[in-house]
Amino acid sequence: MIRLGIPGLILSLWFLMAVTGPFLPLHPERIDLVNILTGPGLNEALGYDDLGRPVLDRLLLGASTSFFVAFWVVTISVVIGTFVGTFSAYIGGYVDQVVVRIIDIFLAFPGILLAIALSGIMGPGIENVVVALSIVGWVGFARLARAQTLSLKHREHVVAAVSLGTVQRKIIVRHLFPLISAPLIIEATFGIASVVIAEAGLSFLGLGVQPPDASWGSMIRDGARYMLVAPHMVLAPGIALMLVVLSVNLLGDRLRDWMDVKGRSVVKK
Amino acid sequence: MLVSALLSSCAKQPDDAIRFGLSSAPISLDPRFATDAASARLNRLLYHRLVDFDDSSRPIPSLASWEALTPVHYRFSLKENGRQFQNSRFQKNKSLSTADVKATYDYILKSENASPHRASISLIRDIRVVDEDTIDFYLDRPDPLFPGYLVIGILPAEAVQSGRKFDRMSMGSGEFSFLDWPEDGLIRLKRRSDNQIFEFIHVGDATVRVLKLLRGEIDLLQNDLPRELVSYLEKQDGHKVVHRGGSNFTYIGFNTQDPVLKIDGVRQAIAYAINRDEIIKYVMGGKTRKANALLPPDHWAGNPSLQAYEYNPGRARELLSKLGYNVDQPLSITYKTSSDPFRIRIATIIQQQLAEVGIKVDLRSYDWATFYGDIKEGRFQMYSLSWVGIKSPDIFRYVFHSTAVPPAGANRGRYNNSKVDQLIEQAEKGVDQAERAEVYRKLQEELLMTLPYVPLWYEEHFYAAASSIDGYTLAVDGNYDGLIYVHRTQ
Amino acid sequence: MLNFLFTRLLSALIVMFGVMCMVFFLIHLVPGDPVDMMLGESARLADREAMRVALGLDQPLLVQLQQYFVNLTQFDLGTSLHSRRPISEMLLERLPATLELAIAALVVAVAIAFPLGVIAAIRKDTLWDRGAMSFSLIGMSIPNFWMGPVLILVFSLWLGWFPVSGRDGIGSLVLPAITLGTALAAVLSRMVRSTLLEVLNEDYIRTARAKGLSESSVVLKHGLRNALLPVITLLGLQLGVLLGGAVITETVFSWPGIGKLTIEAILKRDYPVVQACVLLISLAYVFVNVMTDLVYAWVDPRIRTGGKA
């Protein structure tokens, strides 16, 4: 089994914050100009932000935004990417050629421009951020899934399954997915991190989460402006983001090792 | 003169340069085409104009004084000062004459040259050189504000006729001469009176700009910092910060065709619900002034006796409840703003203040191009923006006249008030400045009463400099003319 | 092989064409008008129209697109709508800065990633491994727009070692290179670790060990050398990405590179500049890709034949 440990704990906390956040008695939007940039103290554990709003409350609210964006973007990207990549490689021929060209075009296209353009066309807002980032995000997974499938297509057990006349779908699900899932999961863990950061980048251009809502990314962006005078504003979301990304990646690592062992035993049989 | 200039320019070490931190990069140093604020401010240093403005925005002679021979015939006489063009590879010791004035303005007037400044002077029918120092402008129609339109830097005629490009060089007669522009974010100029070198360095990030000042990588910066960073700078040793009031006007604009916002009570409720004192106290600079009209009270056509909408949430609630809205049944309004963090910060406070009286504001921030496109098309209920560098009261026709709906003008709120139209036209026909000023005051009273805009404030200007920098002064419109007198003390 | 090269180049051309069409329509689809951006608040209608005609923006989109491709075949990138400068000149001015930063960032990444990756692989599943990997992950978990200002604060203001920003000598390169390089190092060190682990399990390594070679010689000579190919591939791909410029890092450090130019052009709706930047970015990417494919095809003939079957 995978050891969950502290990373597991942190991620559970993240999840818990994301799910319960909207129901807690928080005041993430209460502006109190007297408290602008007041540092952490007895009344407020993490201090106040540039509008005198409690940073802790906003951190909890931001947890759910960032979770929502990361979860949906990565899920959508992985599903679409894996599906397209695997089938394209498996089917091969002209279909594959076309898919590869499309993937290439998307990869060669600067992602930030695509995201800006899409957000501009659809209007700002967190749902549109999910769509924009998914449109950019699926390509990486598709490419990886395709490469993996190509290299596995010729592995003994797949060739064997084909020659035994196994149904295609079954080959893909039974023999390909388990083997390509490991690198995809690793890619997905990195994906969570980069999605959270990309969301912040769009917020930076005003296309992400709209005020007064908060995401960790937008909090870091705002906080960086006041770094000289109120470091707590940028430290709190920065550390939260770092812990989550770190935990996701550590768990991803453990998952990979675990799958590696399993995968190898299958092949060596 | 030339030899001494060469000698001293060789002797000056580049380390002596005074470095000025810019928050946005200039785009073009060609006065015929530049429109962004940073370019315009540098061009003021490189070129002289026929006409300038005093602190009350009255046109005053710069290169030339003028008289109106008839309402459609102006005679300009060049003065002695400021006429020596900077020496360059292409010209030596050339002096500015009326031929240069004609060449510059003829170029702008030619529509195929697509100068963005053409329309502002398109009422010019003909320009005739009388002699080397005298030039006549003939107009299509009378416009008493005309001299105030002649604010474009004068280029040498030969250079204009040869089609030379001036985007990244200059041949002006201003107080500064152009040295080089080695990369987008760095421009070097030389002050002609003493060969002091100035570097203009673009540093977009506010925190980085402050750090550069503290580290001595720049000596001087002006505006565009969050208030908290300004206070931080004020507390640092070895630096000084100076503030002054400005004339750049920030407002909330409404779509007066919108079914909700066309109701007077709603716009008034918004005006009463905004606590400007609190916003200015906590997030604006200390010299920010509350505004009641587009022109500041010290403008020659400004109105100092306007009755402000003071913060009065009770009155706002009352107005809304008459219309059937309250905190439980709030009125919903979409509020668009640019994605500049400072604008978002202000907008978020306003959102909160409106929520307290029962207006639920859906705040949407867009990158500048999208935002600007939207408000021009009338795709908004409410937005906020600033007017920067407004001098002439012809702005009222451009912004509030019913015929000025975009693309013809900037009446983005589709404001239609026959009384305002009539006052604008009456002011334009006024005999003397005093009479016109009186009508403009009445006009601003009417505008404040009917609220196509909720006026917010005139933002302050400030500069921060190393203590070794002396003699810099701030202009009311935020230009960089103070650099003409600035010097480094040891 | 020649045949393979030809098809790869042809497909690269198709990709470039696709990218250019996509960027053309996208940038025109986004709301916002370059003429508005240029003329500012107080321009009048007649100015706008004159400007539109002067810039050729009054033509139908397809005509503009066609004209753009015609110009491209003559290596004419056009002129910037805003500054009216030839775009090729603007790109050439920015390219050295971007190259410099990209290479410096790669150097930083390699310098961090290789020691970390090797240590983690040799001491797999120990505290060393976890430490090295966590360290690399922390580097990746810090967004550039956070790390940049923090580095400036510590190393420029407090310690006074490097200039705050700008491009002025080798010193000014250090902080942006570290900001960019650390994120890259995280990915790279994991790659080094995993490929090295894979290689170390191969038969010939066991043979080398059995021959009694020292562990360091086994790892460095046989292991690392064979693990290099995928790592170099990754480096190449990253270089392709870096050549496109690092928008946020360049903005924070006022680094006059391509990334900053691109984002400024997008925000100003300077269509031809956006198109030229995207052309350059995707060209770099496609070039690196073709090179990678060629290297792979050369090493692993299965791809050459299998992929085309």
Residue C162 and residue C48 share a domain: no
Does some domain include residue C143?
yes
Residue C188 has what pLDDT? Answer: 85
Stretch(es) of chain B classified as CATH 3.10.105.10: 249-458
Q: Name the residue with higher pLDDT: B442 or B87.
A: B442
> At A106, which helix (H) or strand (E)?
helix A93-108
**The two structure tokens encoding residue C141:** 């978990």
> Residue C145: which of A100, A221, A253 has the nearest Cβ?
A221
Q: Strand, coil or helix: what is A240? A: helix
**CATH number for the domain formed by residue range(s) B2-23+203-245+460-488:** 3.40.190.10
| A50 touching B (Cβ < 8 Å) | yes
Confidence of residue C302 (pLDDT cuts 50, 70, 90): low
pLDDT of residue B13: 45
Tell me if B114 and C267 make a contact (CB, 8 A cut-off). Answer: no
What's the number of domains chain C is made of? 2
Q: Is A124 on the interface with B (CB under 8 A)?
A: yes
A117/C263 CB distance under 8 A: no
Find the closest chain B residue to C29 by CA distance. Answer: B370
Residue C28 shares a structural domain with residue C154: no
Q: Measured between alpha carbons, how far is C7 from C3 in angstroms, rounded to an integer?
A: 6
Q: Which of C251, A82, A207, A24 is nearest to B366 (CA)?
A: A207
Paired strand residues for B177: B190
| pLDDT of amino acid A205 | 64
3-class DSSP state for residue B258?
coil
What is the model's pLDDT at position C144? 78
Q: Is 90 exceeded by the pLDDT of residue B437?
A: yes
Name the β-bridge partners of B107: none
Q: Is the pLDDT of residue A251 over 60?
A: yes
B112 touches chain C (CB under 8 A): yes
Question: How much is the pLDDT for C2?
Answer: 76
Task: Please check whether residue A226 is in contact with residue A234, taking contact to mean a CB–CB distance below 8 angstroms.
Answer: yes
Q: What pLDDT is attached to residue B5?
A: 39
> Between A166 and B65, where is the model more confident?
B65
Q: Residue C305's pLDDT band (boundaries 50, 70, 90)?
A: low
Residue among C30, C41, C157 whose CB faces B387 most closely: C41
Q: What is the pLDDT of residue C76?
A: 84
C15 vs A101, A190, A200: nearest CB: A101
Mark whether C67 and C105 lie in a shared domain.
no
Residue C287 has pLDDT above 80, yes or no: yes
Whether C64 has a pLDDT exceeding 90, the answer reads: no
The subunits that touch chain C, with at least 3 C-beta pairs less than 8 Å apart, are A, B
pLDDT in tens, C15-54: 888 888 988 888 888 777 888 777 765 566 777 777 788 7
Domain with CATH 3.90.76.10 in chain B: 45-161
pLDDT tens-digit series, residues B196-213: 999 999 888 888 899 889
Residue C202 located in a structural domain: yes
Alpha-carbon gap, residue C251 to C264, rounded angstroms: 10
- Joined together, the tokens standing for residue A178 give 């388990």
CB contact under 8 A, B35 and C156: no
Q: Which residues of B159-188 are buried (b: 16+ CB within 10 A; e: fewer)?
A: bbeeeeebbbbbbbbbbbbbbebebbbbbb
How confident is the model at residue B152, as a pLDDT?
92
Phi-psi region for residue A112, left (φ > 0), alpha (ψ -120 to 50) or beta?
Answer: alpha
Greatest mean pLDDT among A21-30, A99-108, B213-222: B213-222
Distances (CA, A) of A81 to A78, A141, A237, C230, C293: 5, 5, 30, 22, 21
Q: What is the pLDDT of residues C115-169, one digit of tens each?
A: 888 888 888 778 888 788 778 777 777 777 778 878 887 888 788 888 877 777 7
B249-458 sits in which CATH class?
Answer: alpha beta
Same domain, C161 and C242: yes
**C15-47 burial string, b = 16+ CB within 10 Å, else e?**
bbebbbebbbebbeebbbbbbbbbbbbbbbeeb
Angstroms from A246 CA to nearest CA on chain C: 6
Q: CA torsion angle for C150, C155, C156, C162 (degrees, to 10)?
A: -130
Least confident range of A187-191, A225-229, C257-261, C281-285: A187-191
Averaged pLDDT of chain A? 81
Cα–Cα distance between A139 and A102 in angstroms, integer? Answer: 9
pLDDT digits 0-9 by tens, C189-215: 888 888 888 777 777 777 777 777 777
Q: Name the residue among A120, A205, A229 with its Cβ closest to that of B228.
A: A229
CB atoms within 10 A of CB C109: 27
Q: Do B211 and C157 touch (CB under 8 A)?
A: yes
My answer on whether omega of the bond before B407 falls inside 30° of 0, hence cis, is: yes
For the segment C211-239, what is each residue's pLDDT rounded down to a tens digit?
A: 777 777 777 767 777 777 777 777 877 77
B240 forms bridges with which residues in the sheet?
B465
* Cross-chain residue pair A227–C150, CB shorter than 8 Å: yes
- DSSP conformational letter for B155: P
Evaluate if residue B221 carries a pLDDT over 90.
yes
DSSP E strands: which ranges in B170-312?
A: 176-183, 186-191, 197-202, 220-222, 239-244, 249-254, 289-290
pLDDT mean over B396-402 = 93
Instruction: Tell me: pLDDT of B236 over 60.
Output: yes
Q: Distances from the Cα of B143 to the Cαs of B319, B432, C70, in angstroms?
A: 42, 11, 48
Q: CA-to-CA distance for C209 and B156, rounded, in angstroms?
A: 81
B230: pLDDT strictly greater than 50: yes
Q: How confident is the model at residue A21 (pLDDT cuts 50, 70, 90)?
A: confident
**C-contacting residues of A 87-146, CB under 8 Å?**
92, 97, 100-102, 104-105, 107-110, 112-114, 116-117, 120-121
Cα separation, C291 vs B36, in Å, equals: 44
Q: Cβ of C13 under 8 Å from any chain B Cβ?
A: no
Averaged pLDDT for residues C261-282? 86
**Quick check: C250 and C176 in contact, CB under 8 A?**
yes
| Position B11 pLDDT exceeds 50 | no
Q: Find tokens 């083997």 and name the residue.
A: A179
pLDDT(C306) > 50 = no
The predicted model scores a pTM of: 0.85
Q: Across the interface, do A113 and C142 touch by the CB < 8 Å criterion?
A: no
- B-contacting residues of C 97-116, CB under 8 Å? 97
Q: What are phi and psi of B387, to 5 degrees?
A: -100, 125
Q: How far apart are the first and last CA of chain A?
A: 21
Bigger pLDDT: B182 vs C295: B182
C-alpha A131/C-alpha A24 separation (Å) is 28
- Averaged pLDDT of chain B: 90
User: Whose CA is closest to C200, among C184, C180, C221, C176?
Assistant: C221
Contact assignment for C153 to A228 by CB distance below 8 Å: yes
Contacts of B339 in chain A (CB under 8 A): 205-207
Cβ–Cβ under 8 Å, residues B233 and B213: yes
**C135 and C235 share a domain?**
yes
Closest chain A residue to C21, measured at CA: A105
Nearest one of C65, C78, C66 to C23, comparing CA atoms: C65
> How close C128 gets to chain A, by Cα (Å)?
14
Q: Other C-beta atoms within 10 Å of B324: how many? A: 8
**Residues of chain A with C-beta less than 8 angstroms from the C-beta of C187:** 190
Element (H, E) at A29: none
Distance (Å, rounded) from C-alpha C307 to C-alpha A95?
12
Please name the residue of chain B whose CA is at the shortest distance from the CA of residue A230. B228
Task: Supply the mean pLDDT for chain C.
Answer: 80
Beta strand B220-222 pairing with B18-22: parallel
Q: Which helix (H) or strand (E) holds B73?
A: strand B73-78
In a shared domain, residues C41 and C100: no
Residues C133, C264, single domain; the answer is yes
Q: Find the helix or strand (DSSP H, E) in which A43 lies.
A: none
On chain C, the residues whose CB falls within 8 A of the CB of B119 are 43-47
Contacts with A228 from chain B: Cβ below 8 Å: 207, 210-211, 229, 232
Q: Hey, CA dihedral for C303, A81, C227, C282, is it positive or negative?
A: positive
Interface probe with A: pick from C141, C144, C261, C296, most Cβ of A within 10 Å: C141
pLDDT surpassing 90 at residue C300? no
**Which range among A257-261, B11-15, B114-118 has the greatest average pLDDT?**
B114-118
Domain extent at residue C32: 2-73
Calculate helix-pair angle for A177-204, A232-268, nearest 10 degrees.
170
Q: Which residues from chain A sit within 8 angstroms of residue C247, using beta carbons?
A: 112, 201
Q: What's the pLDDT at C41? A: 57
Between C15, C32, C278, which is nearest A110 by CB? C278
Closest partner CB to A92 (pick from C18, C278, C309): C309
Identify the architecture of domain B45-161 in CATH: Alpha-Beta Complex (3.90)
**C73, C97, C122 - which closes a domain:** C73
Cβ <8 Å between A245 and C143 = no
CB contact under 8 A, A225 and B226: yes
Residues of B in contact with C271 (CB under 8 A): none
More confident residue, B412 or C74: B412
Digit-coded pLDDT (tens) for A196-212 = 778 877 776 667 788 78
Chain A nearest-CA residue for C265: A113
C81 within some domain: no
Q: How confident is the model at residue B274 (pLDDT cuts 50, 70, 90)?
A: very high
Look up residue A94 and give its two tokens: 């002209």
Please judge whether B165 and C84 are an interchain contact, meaning their C-beta atoms are less than 8 angstroms apart: yes
Residue in C84, C153, C251 closest to B204 by CB: C251
C197 belongs to a structural domain: yes
CB contact under 8 A, A108 and C15: yes
Residue extents of the structural domains in chain A: 7-260
Could you tell me the pLDDT band of residue B456, with boundaries at 50, 70 and 90? Answer: very high
Residue of A nearest to C187 (CA): A190
ipTM surpasses cut 0.95: no
- A1 falls in which pLDDT band (50, 70, 90)? low
Task: Tell me which chain A residues have a C-beta less than 8 angstroms from the C-beta of B341.
Answer: 221-222, 225
B339 vs A123, A125, A205: nearest CB: A205
In terms of average pLDDT, the best of A35-44, B43-52, C63-72, C82-91 is B43-52
Quote the radius of gyration of chain A (alpha carbons, Å). 22
| Closest chain B residue to C84, measured at CA | B167
pLDDT confidence bin for C245, thresholds 50/70/90: low
Residues 6+ apart with CB under 8 A from B435: none
Q: How far is B400 from chain A (nearest CA, A)?
A: 29
What's domain A7-260's architecture?
Answer: Orthogonal Bundle (1.10)
- Closest CB to C138 among A100, A121, A242: A242
